[in-house]
Structure formats: C-alpha cells, structure tokens
C-alpha cells in the first residue's frame, strides 16, 4: 500500500493520485503530467471500460504490458469473454485456459491486490532500486551469550519506483459481484 515507512513502497502508492500527491520527489499537484491515471467512478466492469483505461495510458506505441487484479475480477473478466469462446480442439475445450489476455497483455491474479482494483502497468517504467552499500551487506557472525548458535545481521535498503508514473493506470471501484 505504500503506507508503512520501513516497507517497500508498493504499486498502490505509485498509481495513487491523491495520497501521496508527491512520488519520487515530483509533485503530482504541481506537475499533472506526472500523475498516474486513477478511475474511482467506474463500478461496472465491461470490455469498453477496460479498453478506455488501457487507452488512457497508451501513448504512440508505448502501452501497458501487464494487468494485475483480484481473483474475483479475473473471474468476472473471464465471464465477459465466455460468449466469445470458440474451440477448434477438444483438448483445449476440456482443459480450459491457464491465463487470460487483454489486448495481448497478460492478466494476473495477485492475492495481495485490494478488492475492486484492476491495474494496467507498463513495466518498462517500473524499476527496483537498491542502495549500493546496503545490498545484502552482512555483518560478521556473533555468538550470543548462553547459546550454541551464531547469528549475523543482513542489511538491505531499496524500493520500487517509476520513471514515468503516467504510463500506469488503476481502477479502484470495480464491483466484484
């Protein structure tokens, strides 16, 4: 969620346009071009609404390359596609689908995705940053008093970040029923 100061910031903070308004040291209030697209009004999932959200973060040939959502919304999307299914191979019809795509973009289920969320992300602009001096730096082993063990501390500092926040989009109010 990006609300804990000692945790990785997370995707929700990256796509949130209200809190925090500043991300990566750039104010979304002062520089509206920096903000991600956030749709809080859409409640009824439809192919047209998903297409509109996808289109909002497509600039020239640059477009989202992954979608992340809940199991319920994934199932709802699958049900939207059900009338379009055509099987030419009985094995495919019996086995079902292992994954779904939206305009060639894999739709993934994340058990940590909040209810009602559907994210379109462009991984080209999402990076994992770490501090070069604290990238799994290990201190020497020490033996605690009264124990037959040795312990060592391992340090890591880092965060997830975006170099182009506006290339990401989130729906936050899609009905899961």
Q: In what order do the strands lie in the sheet with 37-39?
A: 37-39, 169-171, 118-121, 66-69, 105-109, 100-102
170/11 Cα distance (integer angstroms): 10
Residue 6's pLDDT band, with cuts at 50, 70 and 90, is confident
Mean pLDDT value of segment 162-177: 92
Biggest CA–CA distance in the chain, Å, is 70
Asked if pLDDT for residue 88 goes beyond 60, the answer is no
pTM of the model: 0.81
Task: Provide mean pLDDT across the span 103-122.
Answer: 94
């Amino acid at each position: 969620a990006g609300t804990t100061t000692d945790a990785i910031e997370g995707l929700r903070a990256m796509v949130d346009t209200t809190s925090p308004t500043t991300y990566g040291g750039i104010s979304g209030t002062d520089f509206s071009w920096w903000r991600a697209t956030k749709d809080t009004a859409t409640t009824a999932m439809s192919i047209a609404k998903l297409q509109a959200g996808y289109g909002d973060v497509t600039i020239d040939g640059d477009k989202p390359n992954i979608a992340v959502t809940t199991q319920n919304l994934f199932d709802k999307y699958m049900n939207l596609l059900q009338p379009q299914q055509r099987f030419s191979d009985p094995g495919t019809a019996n086995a079902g689908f292992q994954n779904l795509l939206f305009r060639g973009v894999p739709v993934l289920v994340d058990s940590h995705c909040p209810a009602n969320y559907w994210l379109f992300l462009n991984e080209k602009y999402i990076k994992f940053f770490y501090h070069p001096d604290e990238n799994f730096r290990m201190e020497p082993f020490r033996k605690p008093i009264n124990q037959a063990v040795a312990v060592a501390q391992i340090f890591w500092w880092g965060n997830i970040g975006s170099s182009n926040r506006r290339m990401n989009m989130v729906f936050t109010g899609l009905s899961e029923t």
